[in-house]
Structure 1
Amino acid sequence: MIKLAIMCLVVAAIAAILGFGGVAGAFVDIAVWIAIIAVVLFVVFLLLGMFAGKKARDALD
C-alpha cells in the first residue's frame, strides 16, 4: 500500500512538472489518504497480533 502511495506521489510530481496542477493536487490527496489508511491498518494489525500472540502464549503455558 505504501508503494501505491509513493507511485501516486511520483505521478503527482510528473504532472506538476508538466503543468497539470489540478491532476497533481488530486494525486497528492490520493497519496495522503492511502498513506493514512496504511498506517491505520498497520497499527490495527500490530495490536491484533500482540493480543492474539499473548492469548496463544497464555494458552500454551
Structure 2
Amino acid sequence: MRGRPEAERHHLSCPVCGALPGTSCLQEGAEREKIHPSRRMPIAERNWRSATGWIPPELQSSP
C-alpha cells in the first residue's frame, strides 16, 4: 500500500533454517522451489510439536 513502510522480512522462516546458520528457504525475496518437508505442516502443529520436544527430521540427520 502507498504510504506504508514495507513489511520487515526475516530470513529465519522455518525450524530447519532457524537452526542451521547460513541456510534459508528464501532466495532473492521469494521462496525456493524445494523447501524442507517440515515447512509443509501447519505452523500451529509445528509449534505444538516443538513444545513437546519434537526435532524436525532434517535436523536429526545433521551432525
Structure number with higher helix proportion: 1
TM-score by length of 1: 0.25
Which has the bigger relative contact order, CA under 8 A and spacing at least 6?
1
Structure number with higher strand proportion: 2
**Structure exhibiting the larger radius of gyration computed from Cα positions:** 1
